[in-house]
Structure formats: C-alpha cells, structure tokens
Structure 1
Amino acid sequence: MTIFSLYVYDRHCACVYYQDWHRTKRPKPAVEGGILNAVSSAVSPQVVVDTNTANSSAFSSPRNTLTSSTGVVVAVGEDSSTPAMQQTPSEGSRSNTLPFDEEAKLVYGVILSLRNMIKKLSGRDEQFVSYRTSAYKLHLYETISGYKFVMLSDPATDGLRFVLRQIYNGPFLEYVVRNPLVSMDSREQGIDNDYFRASVDRLVRGLSVFT
C-alpha cells in the first residue's frame, strides 16, 4: 500500500496545492495560464529562456550552473531519496500523460459529479468520502469553508479521510490560514508554502500505509 498524490481545491474550484510521492507517471507541466501561481514547482509551466538574452545579462553569478535554456528537465520531484531523472522535450511529448491543469480539472469534475449523484440518490445527509477503482482509491475531505482535500492512494488502502482532516487541522491552519503572508481566496495565487509542504510531507511519510 502507498500514497500517490494530494490535491487541495479552494471554494472557487481551483487547485491551489499539489504534492505527489509514489506516482509512476507524473503529469506534464501545466500550460501557461492553466493553473494558479505557486501550486507546485513540479507542475508549473516551464519558462523558456532566450539564450541571447541570458548571455547578455548584466549580472551572471559564477555559481549559477543551472540553466533552463537547454530544454532538459533535470528533476521534477521533491523526493531527495530518488535519483534525478532527465527527460527531453521529445520524450515528454510522446508520453500519454495529461498536462497538470487538465488532470486537476478531471479530478475535481469526478468529485463534483459523484457528490451530486450521491445527494440525489441518497439524500442530503449522505456524504461522498471515497471511491475505489482497480488502479487507485480517491479520498475526500471537505471543510466548512469550501476547501476540498483530495488524496489518491493504493486501492487496497483503508479510508484516509482522517489523514486529510489532520492535514487541515494541523499544517493547513498553522501555515496557511494563520499566515498573513498567504493570500486566501485570491483567485491568482496558490498556497505552496515551504513550511506547509514540509509539514505535509513529514505527516504523510510517517503513516503506516506509506511505503
């Protein structure tokens, strides 16, 4: 059993945070303008730097050995235990994975459709908390303020709604809601706070189902 990824959606239906751990296929970077700023550096649109402009810059640090003009993604993950992987644009274009903005919309669309179906079939008192396929299990926790925490895990995993509640009551309230530097409901900015990301990572890695 393992945990694949975490999505956080605000009350405007926008994905404001993303983090993954054991995905076999990472999504492609989102298209320009497809997602909010500061959702995740791993899925943010790639910035193409003009080599002529870069070379003619007035300032160039001798320690700056990372250049984005090569078109090679050196590392897209945040797990330091895995070796860095290189992927050329031609390899990425042959992949059948979706851009992240399309993937995020599909995940939210599934949640909205199933939640509405359950309310119509079972009444308003029934809540949609999870569903399972042969490849994964989706877990949902929705706050009173309209934020939706979505986690994808191995299909054999038990319910992880309590984990999503812990993320909300712990790191989210501490480093996002009570942080005056984080813009809430701005419709322009995500919540990719370093302390929040590190705290979520530590909490998830400490679970017994995380292998």
Structure 2
Amino acid sequence: MTIFSLYIYDRHCNCVYYQDWHRTKRPKVAVEGGLLPGVSAAVYPRAEEPASDNVNNPNSARNTLASASGVLIAVNEDMPRTPLPTQSQFTQPHTNSTGLSFDEEAKLVYGVVLSLRNLIKKLSGRDEQFVHYRTSTYKLHLYETLSGYKFVMLSDPNVDSLRFVLRQIYSGPFLEYVVRNPLITMDSREQGIDNEYFRTSTDRMVKSLTVFE
C-alpha cells in the first residue's frame, strides 16, 4: 500500500498545488499557459531561450553594462519562484508517461471530483458527503474546506480513508505556511502555492504515515 499524489484546487477550480511520490506513470509537462506558476516545478513548462541571445544581441538587457559604474543590470523575468527541475528529473527511463499533459490531467481529476460530489448531493441529500471512491488501480480521497479548497489524494486501492490526513495537511502546514503567510495571495488566479516550507512539511507528514512505503 502506498500514496501516489496530492492535488489542491482553489474555489476558482484552479489547481494551485501538486506533489507526487510513488507514481508509476509520470505526467507530461503542462502546456504553456495551461498551468499557474508555482504549482509544481516538475510539471511547469520550461521557457526555451535562444542560445545565441546573449552573444548575437549586444543590446540585450542581459548584456547591459553601465559604463560609469561597471555594474551589471539584472533583469527579473516572470518565472515561478520554485526552482525548475534538472534535466534528469524530466528523463526518467524507468517510468512511463500518462500520455496527458499535466494541465489536462488536473482538469480530469477535478471533473471527476465535481461530478461525483454533485451526484451524491442529488441522490442522497445535502447531509451526505463525497469523501472517496475506489477503482481497481487507485483510490481517490477528498477533503473540502469551508473556503472552497479541495484537497485530493490518490492512493493504493487497499488504503483506508485518508480524509483525516488531508484534514491534517489543511489544519497544519496549509494554515501555517499558506493562509497565515502574508507573502501569498489567497484565491489568486495568477500564482500557485509557491512555498517550499509547505511542500517540505507536507512531504514529511505523508512519508511518516504507516501506509507510505
């Protein structure tokens, strides 16, 4: 038994955070413009720069040198603050690809959650809650906050309910490093949860579970 991945969606239906552990099929890098910056460096599209930009263009901002002061003028590019992964992280010969870009995968996961959640409400009434469902290959767990955030975790189908784990992630690292962090804009349509403290704390919490192998 093990845990595969974690998705967090905000009330705007955007995937604002992603992390995985034991995925056998890696997600493809998201299409440019299809994913918020800061969600996950492993699936964020890399910006390809021309190799000759700094060489053949002496007027480029990167090559601007103040003649009087001798100080190089640095240009801040609009890139996610989370460090981008190395080439070895993209090329994993022992894992297969899902065939879907990550932004499409995230939309499918959210669509499944939303559809089943609405179906249960219509069939069972408002007192019933959708907390998980199981297939032959995985089990999906859901925890939804009052503010509209949806914590979704995929695990081995034989794992018991992990809703309490999602609640602990919300009440612990999420509140501590995201909600109470003045540097993070909540409910933003422009930036994901770009916080290494939250990522590290979540990773430590998940790996400490008995079902994690």
* Shift of residue 26, structure 1, vs aligned partner: 1.1
Which residue is 1:74 aligned to? 88
For residues 40 and 54 of structure 2, what CA distance do their matches in structure 1 show? 25
For residues 95 and 43 of structure 1, what CA distance do their matches in structure 2 show? 12
Task: Mark the runs of 5 or more structure 2 residues left unpaired by the alignment.
Answer: 57-61, 64-71, 73-85
Which residue is 2:101 aligned to? 99
For residues 131 and 145 of structure 1, what CA distance do their matches in structure 2 show? 23
RMSD value over aligned CA atoms? 1.9
Which residue is 2:40 aligned to? 40
Task: Mark the runs of 5 or more structure 1 residues left unpaired by the alignment.
Answer: 60-71, 77-84
* Shift of residue 54, structure 1, vs aligned partner: 4.8
Name the CA shift for 1:55/1:3 in 2 (closer, same or farther; >3 Å): farther
Report if the CA contact (8 A) 2:9-2:17 is conserved. Answer: yes
Which residue is 2:207 aligned to? 205
Give the 3-state SS of the residue equivalent to 2:12 in structure 1: coil
* Shift of residue 192, structure 1, vs aligned partner: 2.4
1:151 to 125, 131, 153: 153
2:163 to 161, 164, 180: 161
Name the CA shift for 1:3/1:95 in 2 (closer, same or farther; >3 Å): closer
Name the CA shift for 1:149/1:24 in 2 (closer, same or farther; >3 Å): same
Which residue is 1:125 aligned to? 127
- Paired amino acid for 2:122: K
Name the CA shift for 1:55/1:202 in 2 (closer, same or farther; >3 Å): farther
Report if the CA contact (8 A) 1:176-1:191 is conserved. Answer: yes
- Paired amino acid for 1:13: C
For residues 97 and 204 of structure 2, what CA distance do their matches in structure 1 show? 31
* Shift of residue 97, structure 1, vs aligned partner: 2.0
Which one has the bigger strand percentage?
2
Q: TM-score, normalised by structure 2?
A: 0.83
Report if the CA contact (8 A) 1:73-1:86 is conserved. Answer: no
For residues 114 and 142 of structure 2, what CA distance do their matches in structure 1 show? 11
Report if the CA contact (8 A) 2:37-2:190 is conserved. Answer: yes
- How many pairs are equivalent? 186
Report if the CA contact (8 A) 1:8-1:17 is conserved. Answer: yes
Which residue is 1:51 aligned to? 51
For residues 101 and 51 of structure 1, what CA distance do their matches in structure 2 show? 28
* Shift of residue 55, structure 1, vs aligned partner: 4.7
- Aligned-pair identity (%): 72
Report if the CA contact (8 A) 1:139-1:152 is conserved. Answer: yes
1:2-52 Cα deviation digits (max 9, x unpaired): 000000000000000000000011111111110111000001012112111
Name the CA shift for 1:204/1:55 in 2 (closer, same or farther; >3 Å): farther
- Paired amino acid for 2:180: R
Which residue is 1:28 aligned to? 28
